[in-house]
Structure 1
Amino acid sequence: MGTQLNYCDTLADWTDLFGTMSLALVTDGEDGSAVECSVSYDRSAWYLNTVSSTDDVEVVARIKGAAGETQSVILAAVSDVTGYRFDVTPASGEVGIGQYVSNGSGTIHAGVVSAGALVDGGWNWIRARYSGGKVSVKAWGSSESEPAGWDILDATPLNVLPAGRVGLYFYNGTQRVDTFGVGTAGDAAPTADAAPAAPVNNAFALDFADGAGLGADVSGNGNPFSPVGSPQQTADTPTNNCCVLQAYVLGGPQGNVTLSNGNLTQTCSATSDDRTTGTVGFSEGRYYWEIEYTTVTAAQNFVGVYGFAWNSDGTLTNGGPIAGFASGDLLGLAVDRDICEVELFKNGVSQGVFPFVPLEGPSRPIQGNQPHTLTANFGAKPFAYAPPIGFKALCAANLEEPAHRDPGDGVGILAREGTGAQATVSGLAARPDLVFMKRLDADGTWMLFDTVRGAGRSLATNSNGAEANPTNGIREFFNDGYTVGDGSNDNALGGQYLDFFLQRGPEFGFDIVTWVGDGVSGRQIVHDCGGTPEFIMVKALTSTNGWVAYHKALGATHFIQPHQVSAAVANSDIWGDVEPNSLAFTVGNNSTVNAPAETYIAYVFRSVPGFSEVFSFEGNGSNAGPRANLGFLPRAMLGKNADDAQDWFFVSSDMDGGRNNIERWVEGNTVEQAFGSPGLFSFLSSGFDVINSSSLINGNGDTILGIAWAAQPFQYSNAF
């Protein structure tokens, strides 16, 4: 007899042997529908109404059971008595053959490892054969090719196979079958991707251009979809992403918030402080959005922007009083980031204008807290009330044009293989005014070169040593490149190197300045980074006084050392306890910054929207770590745990083959080669998530500080 293939699209082909099961047709088969059997009674079987041959029969089936369970094919059992059972146990990768005798079996073979890769809890093929008085079996995973050999071949059965029906047997739980074929020995089995042709009347075509008829089937087959909730048709495209909600705040993910309605509705049923933020951040400009609270249950349900909250009990983060709000109220926020003011509206009526102090990084909507339900509108559909004049919807197209549409005009990374001979690097988009050079595949000192000191003069962030004049490293600078030597630290044959370079200029938020110390506290060092410095690295050039650094998260009362693992240190004679301004920064009389007659160099940085961000965050010691909002997809970052004796880290997507799951890093304060770890950061279009609990980058309660440079500004990203 020829092979009979049944794709399990009807229940009529199946019967319950013992009357202890429930059968159902489900849709999760590999190629469409499947028959599901659920049972609470041990050792049950279900049978296909097909009579087998008594001396030459072969069965092939694709079956799926619960993880850890054994599934079986039964050949020619008469009623509930004699036949043969072919077992597959994916969890152990074993197949076996047993004699099936009235709910029991006499084992012929067991514990044989299958030649095919089996999927525990997934779909697997099994082929069972009785031919010439012998029994055989093989099994393999659904996505694998059928193995040529048998796992058990021509075993001698205990008795002759009787006539009867064929089917499936299992112990308990739920089992599914989506393909069952019966034929003579040697018939071809269905392939892993075999599938019946879909009936034409199951086809559909949805016309998403019709906003009033979302779900309508325009194929002519009459298969419409029924929209759930109130879906909105918008003009949102990959070139203009509108803000939506995300269950993530600066401190980490918010596990008690449920998002729905295209991530515009949020529900929190737990008495926790869980909340959401918007996916679009902004460092300048004026934006308006609306929040409708369906359910207000607590005094601290709130709406706001990073650094400011309006609570339902009529209080504000900066005092009050103000009118509260309740279930059913529609709240509007008009945020002017340029002057740091927010105007609040309730049901279209202004409640006043209030100042706020932005938190670090781009400002974002933030809302929630305690049990509540709310729906946000950031402009994907018409607002209920007209925004104030000059305020725009919060979407990528309305963000202020960044100073650098392509950050590559001011920052670059070159991954290169050493040639073992002097070589020229050219064609760089950014002028390399500062170059950090590091070998990745072997230990080697950092080499820092800049155009202010000139080629041939090197500093190392892993050392307190004075400026060196190595015979290798950068020998000459050009507007679009430089020449490197042939040493182990810069260009050994076959060596793997990373060159990180920056262009100097106020538009890039970066300047290089030098001065000769006078020992007088309060010395003002003029700079031209285009704004107020947020990160400064200083090194004495002619002595072994170590590096010192200023970071805005520490302030002028502390310093941190780029060449050390040490935590930040409180000190008043490094920066003179004076915060920097847009014209100058202050140094005290400490020898690391202002010894008489000593020459110093400083690398001065500020944040530039869409290009660079000096950042900090508080670690939580979890693999579900904090999220840092930068306003761009990062390309490279330099950072340090300021509260613990941890190494500095430098990471870049270029070191991970352009991937945004960052696994490799180099220590900025050591000579060590690059390290690898299963996930440190996940780079996002607007910042990064910390995905590792290591104290290096995420010590619980520790301040992690750093500076990041962009691969792409957020408004030009195609996805969140």
Structure 2
Amino acid sequence: MVELHSINPLLGCGDPGDPIEYSCHFDGNAYMYRDFQAGNRKIYAERVLFKLLGDVPTPLLFLNAAGAVGTYAFNYLYNGQIHTAEQQNHSEHLMYVLAKNRHRDFAGFVDMLRIVDTTKPTASERVEYWFNGRKSSFAAQTWPALNRDTFMNQAVRHYLGTFYPGSVSSAKSQALKADYIFFDGKTPSPTDFGYFNAYGHWVPRLFEGKGQGEPVYGTNGFHLDFSDPLDLGKDVSGNGNHFTTMGMTSDNQSTDTPSNNENLMSVLDGKGVTNTEAGKRFAFPSSYVSVRSNFAVHGEGPFELEIEATTTLSGNNILHIGMCSSELGIVNRAMGQSSAVPGALGMAVGKGYEAATQQAGSGSVLNVETPTSYPSGTRIKVVWRKEDAELDFWVAGVKIWTTPMDISGPVHFFLGGYASGCRVTSLKAGSLKAAPCPDILNPDDYFTERVAVNGAPVNDMPWNMEQVETLTLSYRQDAKEDTRVSDTIDGAGLSWATNTTGGIASHTGTLAAYQGNGYSFPDRAGIWVDYHERISRETGLDVINVDHVNGTPTTASHHLGRPVEFAIVVPHSGGNRRVFHKDMVAGRYLTLNKTETEKTDPNWISSTAVDVTINGSLPTGRYKLILHCSVENYKDIGIYKGTSSNDGAFVLMPFAPRMVMIFRPDIVGNHHLSSVDADGGDNPVQRYLNLESGGSGTTIRHMDFLSNGIKNRDDNSDVNGGEPIYLSIAGTPLKFARGQ
């Protein structure tokens, strides 16, 4: 196995781009306005870095203009899609363009550039959307007429963060916005504001024309960098096009930026949780639900989460607060209940729970004498004194309990409740700026995807496949055909299928030859998607062949450096392919090539950090073992709880995922594989592959691929019911991930 490292310690951790110092907090009440003079109504552009804070129906994130009665230019986000719309007579659309990409990411900043130019001869080129340096496709469009004067840049009042002063609060922005720039009569390039660094991450670039006035920005152009807390509407373009702020104070200035992405409580966790007030207010349903922080807590501390009850806490109305392991997933029951929740430290406040707390390792419960009810407005707080390795729990200004912080590994804040509500009054949970540097800065150097058409050779791989051991999975996207797996261990010309019981042999569609930084499949017809992963301890992947005799356990060495967490066992001569996952009940397995429930074969596979054993129950023969383990910031192997609703499960991951495989052991269901690239890079990812039935990729299920995990957006039972298990691989480490 070849060991590779992408970090040069002399260069530091990657390339974060130019620093963005400040953002402005649009909290659902605050907005800005300015009276424009007549400008270029045919050509304009708008660029902003934004981070969503609340899942409101129609947040008016961008610049809007209200002219004559019933005549509007409004640019907004609805159900995650950015709209550029102009309307007259309250209903007639003169321009209506929707980006295909849906933005439902609440953990990272999106870099957006929107360009309108009605002078272009081709209608479909008159509006452009760019997100994180990539041009977006469109979901629907009514293109503006050639040379049409838009409603923007009229001599009317323009609003930022709302439509007009009487707009309902649900239509106002709930977002952080940074480096907001508007151009009148100019069409800048995305590379004026950012670039893809050597690791494939889109990072910010400070605009070189800052302060140069009308020649750069145009007549109504402005540049808001939010650096003056006493004048957040101050224009630094040099044009003096300052905005008047409404409902803003110096507290609306924030240091939460793409350069210092701060940790907030997730608004995606928890079925039935209602979130308002720009991500700060939570209302919990009558069944217990909890939410976590967007990512693990990083930095020196001390750290704290303080909440204020917005309902009376008594009877079964409780609030729950604490810290949990990143591996735990959602804390799905309150502390103090009879069943233990190892991996969490928390305190539940309300009658019947009386500040019940639970130790992380032992699951023991400590009940502290407290009143039987607490009024609305009660403050509840947990403080992690990292330097002392202790947690303090407070209720109504009184310290209730101090306990050693004995949760190992990365940890998150969590809060939850039964039929109750709270408002986050203080959250100090660090930022990604303080996160450790990932060992793999560019996952594409280790796991990559290629699309080949009609047998065309591929010659742009990031590594030399004649020198680096590689595992390849290939499926046909435009027609149903066997999904094939090959590797450099057995060599070119041999493969096996995920959807049959056939042996490892030469098959039509098998990779024919490795050719330096490429390969060839000359007999393939149609469109094929190939996934490739390096076989390396660094990627948590090993592939070995073993000769086994029935009745006797077989033990072989592997090179993962830790126990196996996911495995596929394939008989060379043919037969069912078994799947092992660390979160399945011990002794059980799934059959990869069938839609059937899990089977039992006690102790059929086991492992240590250096070897793996298959027991004597397997038939005599030669077996291929594909072995995986988790790798921090690169590969995540775990379990989650489905919701069986369109408000689907949110699966927290320590990266922006590129590919995920999902299995449901307890039902007769499909074995699911989805990836960002196979669906064209748009969100949500709808195309998926059923591993047990072969290509082609189907377009049914909706799944958001986000900067910190995945969010199921439909009620399909295979991926959003019961407790699915998964394996995922990173597209971008969380430290550098942009919002999607």
Q: TM-score, normalised by structure 1?
A: 0.63
Distance 2:507 2:688 in 1: 26
Matches within 5 A, 1:643-654: 643-654=666-677
Distance 2:228 2:251 in 1: 12
Secondary structure, aligned partner of 2:626 = strand
Matches within 5 A, 1:211-250: 211-212=229-230, 214=232, 224-227=244-247, 231-249=251-269
Shift of 1:232: 4.7
Task: Answer yes or no: is the 8 Å Cα contact 1:268–1:274 preserved in 2.
Answer: no
Aligned to 2:296: 281
Q: Can you give the 5+ residue segments of structure 1 that lack an aligned partner in the other structure?
A: 1-27, 37-61, 65-120, 127-138, 145-189, 380-392
Shift of 1:718: 2.9
Aligned to 2:556: 525
Matches within 5 A, 1:14-29: none
Q: Residues 668 and 372 of structure 1: is their aligned pair in 2 closer, same or farther, counting only changes over 3 Å?
A: closer
Task: Answer yes or no: is the 8 Å Cα contact 1:248–1:275 preserved in 2.
Answer: no
Aligned to 1:371: 420
AA aligned to 1:480 is N
Q: Residues 655 and 323 of structure 1: is their aligned pair in 2 closer, same or farther, counting only changes over 3 Å?
A: farther
Q: Residues 220 and 475 of structure 1: is their aligned pair in 2 closer, same or farther, counting only changes over 3 Å?
A: closer
Q: Does 1:559 align with 2:618?
A: no
Task: Answer yes or no: is the 8 Å Cα contact 1:573–1:590 preserved in 2.
Answer: no
Distance 1:438 1:357 in 2: 42
Task: Answer yes or no: is the 8 Å Cα contact 2:686–2:699 preserved in 1.
Answer: yes
Q: Does 1:697 align with 2:715?
A: no
Task: Answer yes or no: is the 8 Å Cα contact 1:272–1:371 preserved in 2.
Answer: no
Q: Residues 336 and 400 of structure 1: is their aligned pair in 2 closer, same or farther, counting only changes over 3 Å?
A: farther
Q: Identify the match of residue 655 of structure 1 among 678, 682, 693.
A: 678
Task: Figure out how many residues of one structure are paired with residues of the other and give that number.
Answer: 513
Distance 1:403 1:30 in 2: 44
Distance 1:342 1:397 in 2: 24
Once the two structures are superposed, residues 621-645 of structure 1 have per-residue CA deviations (whole angstroms, 9 ceiling, x without a partner) of: 2121100011111111222222211
Task: Answer yes or no: is the 8 Å Cα contact 2:662–2:671 preserved in 1.
Answer: yes
Distance 1:285 1:713 in 2: 17
Secondary structure, aligned partner of 1:316 = strand
Shift of 1:719: 3.0
Aligned to 1:187: none
Task: Answer yes or no: is the 8 Å Cα contact 1:413–1:501 preserved in 2.
Answer: yes
Q: Does 1:259 align with 2:283?
A: no
Aligned to 1:719: 739
Secondary structure, aligned partner of 1:507 = helix
Aligned to 2:459: 425
Matches within 5 A, 1:22-421: 31-34=65-68, 123-124=87-88, 141-143=93-95, 193=151, 197-198=155-156, 208-212=226-230, 214=232, 224-227=244-247, 231-249=251-269, 251-252=270-271, 254-255=273-274, 257-260=275-278, 263=279, 265-268=280-283, 273-281=288-296, 288-295=302-309, 297-298=312-313, 300-306=318-324, 307-308=343-344, 309-312=346-349, 313-317=354-358, 318=363, 319-321=365-367, 329=379, 331-334=381-384, 343-346=391-394, 351-354=401-404, 363-369=411-417, 370-379=419-428, 393-419=429-455
Distance 1:348 1:396 in 2: 32
Once the two structures are superposed, residues 292-312 of structure 1 have per-residue CA deviations (whole angstroms, 9 ceiling, x without a partner) of: 233373263121123422223
Task: Answer yes or no: is the 8 Å Cα contact 1:624–1:692 preserved in 2.
Answer: yes
Once the two structures are superposed, residues 596-628 of structure 1 have per-residue CA deviations (whole angstroms, 9 ceiling, x without a partner) of: 4x1111111111121111122222221211000
Once the two structures are superposed, residues 159-184 of structure 1 have per-residue CA deviations (whole angstroms, 9 ceiling, x without a partner) of: xxxxxxxxxxxxxxxxxxxxxxxxxx
Q: Identify the match of residue 665 of structure 2 among 623, 628, 642.
A: 642
Q: Does 1:619 align with 2:637?
A: no
Q: Does 1:508 align with 2:539?
A: yes
Task: Answer yes or no: is the 8 Å Cα contact 2:470–2:488 preserved in 1.
Answer: yes
Task: Answer yes or no: is the 8 Å Cα contact 1:471–1:485 preserved in 2.
Answer: no
Shift of 1:405: 1.1
Task: Answer yes or no: is the 8 Å Cα contact 1:614–1:707 preserved in 2.
Answer: yes
Distance 2:400 2:151 in 1: 62
Q: Residues 125 and 465 of structure 1: is their aligned pair in 2 closer, same or farther, counting only changes over 3 Å?
A: same
Q: TM-score, normalised by structure 2?
A: 0.61
What RMSD over aligned residues (CA atoms) do the two structures have, in Å? 4.0
Distance 2:281 2:626 in 1: 45
Higher mean Cα deviation, 221-230 or 638-647? 221-230
Once the two structures are superposed, residues 671-699 of structure 1 have per-residue CA deviations (whole angstroms, 9 ceiling, x without a partner) of: 3422112x421100010100121223223
Task: Answer yes or no: is the 8 Å Cα contact 2:229–2:251 preserved in 1.
Answer: no
AA aligned to 1:371 is S
Q: Identify the match of residue 680 of structure 1 among 697, 702, 711.
A: 702
Task: Answer yes or no: is the 8 Å Cα contact 1:523–1:588 preserved in 2.
Answer: yes
AA aligned to 1:310 is M
Task: Answer yes or no: is the 8 Å Cα contact 1:507–1:530 preserved in 2.
Answer: no
Distance 1:653 1:486 in 2: 26
Shift of 1:570: 2.4
Task: Answer yes or no: is the 8 Å Cα contact 1:573–1:589 preserved in 2.
Answer: no
Shift of 1:220: 8.4
Q: Does 1:462 align with 2:508?
A: no
Q: Can you give the 5+ residue segments of structure 2 that lack an aligned partner in the other structure?
A: 1-61, 74-84, 97-147, 161-219, 325-342
Q: Does 1:435 align with 2:472?
A: yes
Secondary structure, aligned partner of 1:245 = coil
Shift of 1:230: 7.5
Q: Residues 472 and 252 of structure 1: is their aligned pair in 2 closer, same or farther, counting only changes over 3 Å?
A: same
Higher mean Cα deviation, 655-664 or 314-323? 314-323
AA aligned to 2:563 is T
Aligned to 2:613: 586
Task: Answer yes or no: is the 8 Å Cα contact 1:239–1:716 preserved in 2.
Answer: no
Q: Residues 29 and 535 of structure 1: is their aligned pair in 2 closer, same or farther, counting only changes over 3 Å?
A: closer
AA aligned to 1:428 is P
Secondary structure, aligned partner of 2:646 = coil
Aligned to 2:103: none
Q: Which has the higher contact order (CA 8 A, sep 6+)?
A: 2
